[in-house]
Amino acid sequence: METVDSWQVGDIKVTRILELIEHFMEPLEMFPDATEEALSEHRAWMVPHALCPDTNRIILPIQSYLVQTAQHTVLIDSCVGNDKTFPWNENWNQRRDETFLRNLAAAGVSPDDIDFVFCTHLHVDHCGWNTKLVDGRWVPTFPNARYVMSETEFKFTEANAGSGSGRTFEENVQPIAEAGQALLVAMDHTLDDTVWLEPTPGHTPGHVAVHLTSRGHDGVMCGDLIHSPIQCVFPDWSFKFDVDREQSRVTRRKFLEDCCGSGRQVFTAHFPLPSVGRVEERGDAFRFDYPG
C-alpha cells in the first residue's frame, strides 16, 4: 500500500501518507439520521469506492497529509500508530505495522524533518503516530516537531481520559506535553501567512480545520467534520460518534457552503481515495467532485 500521491496548492506541496483502508460501518449505523429510502438512489455512485458492495460498509481510509511550505515541513494528523490501546476496533488495537513510516520515507521525509504536527482533533486515528513505544515508554515519533493542538481539544481529551476513548490521552497526548513539545493554541491560531486554523467544533469540541494558501490558491484539511461524500448530499447526517451532532450539522453545512464553488482544494481525512477534490452545488445541497 505504498503511495506518493501529491498535489500543489500554489507553492505548497501536499503528499498523502496512507496508513490503512478500513471497511468501517454500515451507513445506517454510521449516520443515525440516514434512511434506506434516502440512501437507495445514491448507492449506484457510492459503490464500490465509497461503499463496499460485499460488506455494505462505508470505506474509510486512514491517512495523514504531509505539507511542505517554503518555511516548514508539517504533518497534518498522524493516523492510528503502533502498539496503541483501542480494543473497540481490532484493526486499530495494538497494531504492528510500518506502512505509515514507509510511506513517509517514500515521500522523502524522515521523522526528524517534521517541524510541526497539527492535530485536527485528538481521536485515536488522528494522533496515533504522535508517539511510539521505545523500551516501554511513549516518546514523540517526531523529535524536532512542535505538536499543535487546540487548547480546547487538549482539555476535553484530558478530562475524558480513560472513559471510552481507549488510552488516547495517556499514550498519544500526555507524553508530548511531558516532552515539552505540545503547543496548545486557540482554535483560530495562525502559524504564518500560509497555514492557519479555522474552528470547526461538533465532531469534538476543539476540532479545527487546517487552511493552506499560496499565490491565490487555497486548500483545507477538514479532519472529521465530514466522513463520507454522502454527507455532501445530506449535510444534516451527523456521524454516530460526533460529540455534538447538532453543532456538527451547523459546522458541516457552513464548511460546505464556504467551499462550494470557491475552487478550494479539500483534503478530506476519510473520503475514499484519492480523497481530495472540490465541493460543488447539487440541488439544494452539495456534491464532492474528484479531479478528472
In the complex, the residues that contact Zn ion under the rule CB under 5 A are: 125, 224
State the sign of the Cα–Cα–Cα–Cα dihedral 270, 271, 274, 279.
Answer: negative
**For Zn ion, the closer CB: 77 or 214:** 77
| Cis? peptide before 48, omega within 30° of 0 | yes
**For Zn ion, the closer CB: 165 or 213:** 165
* Spatial separation of the C-alpha atoms in residues 263 and 167, rounded to whole Å: 39
Angle at 38 between CA 221 and CA 33, to 5 degrees: 65
**For Zn ion, the closer CB: 185 or 269:** 269
CB of 269 to Zn ion, least distance (A): 5
CB of 203 to Zn ion, least distance (A): 8
**For Zn ion, the closer CB: 160 or 262:** 160
Displacement of CA 291 from its chain's centroid (Å): 20
Angle at 199 between CA 189 and CA 130, to 5 degrees: 70
CB of 24 to Zn ion, least distance (A): 10
CB of 37 to Zn ion, least distance (A): 28
CB of 283 to Zn ion, least distance (A): 28
Secondary structure E strands in the chain:
6-9, 12-23, 59-68, 73-76, 116-118, 131-134, 137-140, 146-150, 182-185, 195-199, 208-214, 217-221, 265-267, 276-282, 285-289
**For Zn ion, the closer CB: 97 or 113:** 97
CB atoms within 10 A of CB 105: 14
